[in-house]
Amino acid sequence: MRVLTVLAVFSGFRFASAAPQQESPAHTFDYIVVGAGPGGLTIASRLTENPSVSVAVIEAGTWSESVTGNQSQVPSYDFYYNGKSPNDTNPLDEWGFVTTPQAGISGQAVHYTRGKSLGGCTNLNYMGYTQTAAGALQMWADKVGDTSYAYESSSYYYRKSMNFTRANKELRLPNTTTSEAVGTAAIGGPLDVTYASWAQSFSTWVAIAMNAIGIHTTDAFINGNLNGSSWLTSTINPRNGHRESAETAYLSPVIGRPNLKVFDLTLGERIIFDRNKVARGVEVTTVNRTYTLNARREVIVSGGAFQSPQLLQVSGVGPADLLRQHNIPVVADRPGVGQNLNDHVFFGIAYRVNVLSAAAMQYGDFAAKAIAQFNEDGTGPLASPGGDFAAYEKLPQDIRAKFSPDTLNELAQVPDDWPEMQYLTLPTFVGTFESASAGAPQDGFQYGTLLATLIAPSSQGNISISSPRMSDHPLINPNWMTTKRDIELVIGGFKRLRQILESPVMGNVTIGPEYYPGAEVQTDNEIHEQIKKSFNTMYHASASCKMGKRSDPYAVVDSHARVYGVKNLRVVDASAFPFIVPGLPQATVYMLAEKIADDIKRGNQNLFQI
């Protein structure tokens, strides 16, 4: 049972859902931001702190609450429309992208959720908040030739974005709280980060089991450390229990600023360049009418890892051969636009359990009581995003012993504090991840799943336009699990899941043998085939407009997010990462946007980037 309530309380919000009648100074802005996800809304909010600076935000979607009710507010609804079946999509606030057939998973084409609303993917994600590893940020600094990306400097921008609230110990028992690293979390930023008021019973047993096999408890993952196990912090508002998104944190509080205008239900069609390759505006379409918004200073692209490279390509910035195939005039031949796509994948093992799980919240009196409790004060089972306990590690030696020399040599180049696996608890059955309910047993039992995520992937994919139009979906090729290293790592991660779940401690909570996929899956080949069938993406697509040094022919932006080959154009979202970072990326998107906003405010000139 799931109750979604449509909200219609937007009086006083300042947005435009109709095209202007004609071009005029009223439709010229200092900055135009294309895309209202965490990157775009952070930039827009920070730039409009100066009342003399005008910003337009272009977003193809609208307010999520106005089209999907409270689906974007209730934490436990985060798994709806996040399945890999092409049919598991909600066109009201999601793009419905489907990948090309994927060689690494026997030719499957997979639904890839991307938010289409004010707030973007932060209205749909699993809400987990982790800062990335300090070693990854040092590698970032080295790759782009800018020491300001090292953790000592970038940690300032993580803290600037967040408003951390400690766990509510009146609602969470002592065995469901963690020792947060005092001094590393920040108070006063726009983005609420805290612990859900409801902790999952299954997770308490997994926490003990992880300690038993050597994955020890650590502080919350908000201080540059991604090794050990801990209760997960989430983007949740501690005052009402609702999801915190880029919209609630960075847009709604400032929507009344007269120098900020939001063009919702408006598709950015292409960037307009003058003869000197200077970005001068954006051609957009609202309700079937096409017109131009003009930029005095810069255009900032924040469309995400799929649509940022797509917008650059349809605008003439990208691989010249691809652009000519679609009769697009080449403004700048940048072969890296759409390349270097990285992603995280996960998969799991399920048991029947003797504690409460998500199955109890689907029907009957318990579901009704949970809904009533959340509606009353934002607490109870619906206040949990589900996955609330995580661990990170490099796989132990007994598993590494079967890795090939090539894989071991490659992994030796990864920073010491960059883990290879993330483990995440989930109080439900997910099976093959086709949808939130597909394949779930209807047998009256409760289920718990432990997931493993490959967070040191080497496979790379790409994004290519399918036509000169933004309204046509791009060709999305994540190329998951196509390298020997990735295959060996996921097989090792599956074996490690079994070590955790077969710990004697877990006998206190599990019922019977492994339920899914079952003990008959044993050999490396059987495990690999099982993972290909039952994996899903974590929806962490990154680095398709990668940041890099000028000497790197596949770099798209410099360390200030300025696009090489043109002027007055930046890309600020996960596509601008130089590589996918370990951990959950939303915190790093906010960090990057805060950092680039400061760059712009300081007058960092957008010099011609050839």
Domain boundaries, the chain: 28-64+248-341+544-602
Tens of pLDDT along 239-277?
999 999 999 999 999 999 999 999 999 999 999 999 999
pLDDT mean over 58-68: 94
pLDDT interval class at 68 (50, 70, 90): confident
pLDDT interval class at 604 (50, 70, 90): low
Neighbours of 397 (CB within 10 A): 7
pLDDT mean over 513-522: 98
Q: Give the C-alpha separation, 221 to 179, whole Å.
A: 11
Tens of pLDDT along 197-252?
999 999 999 999 999 999 999 988 999 999 999 999 999 999 999 999 999 999 99
| Mean pLDDT over the full length of the chain | 93
pLDDT mean over 272-299: 97
Residue 375 is inside which H or E element, if any?
A: helix 364-377
**28-64+248-341+544-602, CATH topology level:** FAD/NAD(P)-binding domain (3.50.50)
Quickly list H helices, 419-510. Answer: 484-501
pLDDT at 14 over 50: no
Higher pLDDT, 604 or 548: 548
Q: What secondary structure does DSSP assign to 149-176, as a single string?
A: GSHHHHHHHHHHHEEE----TTTS-GGG
pLDDT at 7 over 90: no
- Which of these, 71, 120, 58, 131, lies nearest to 95 by C-alpha position? 120
pLDDT interval class at 23 (50, 70, 90): very low
Residue 452 is inside which H or E element, if any?
A: strand 446-454
pLDDT at 609 over 60: no
Q: And the tokens for 348?
A: 């799991």
Strands 55-58 and 260-263: what pairing? parallel
Neighbours of 526 (CB within 10 A): 13
- Whole-prediction pTM: 0.94
pLDDT value of position 20:
45
Residue 549 CB-density burial (10 A; 0-12 exposed, 13-18 middle, 19+ buried): middle
pLDDT at 26 over 90: no
CA distances from 579 to 361, 496, 555 (A): 39, 26, 11
pLDDT value of position 573:
99
pLDDT at 435 over 50: yes
pLDDT value of position 180:
62
Q: Give the C-alpha separation, 478 to 464, whole Å.
A: 11
Catalytic residues: 540
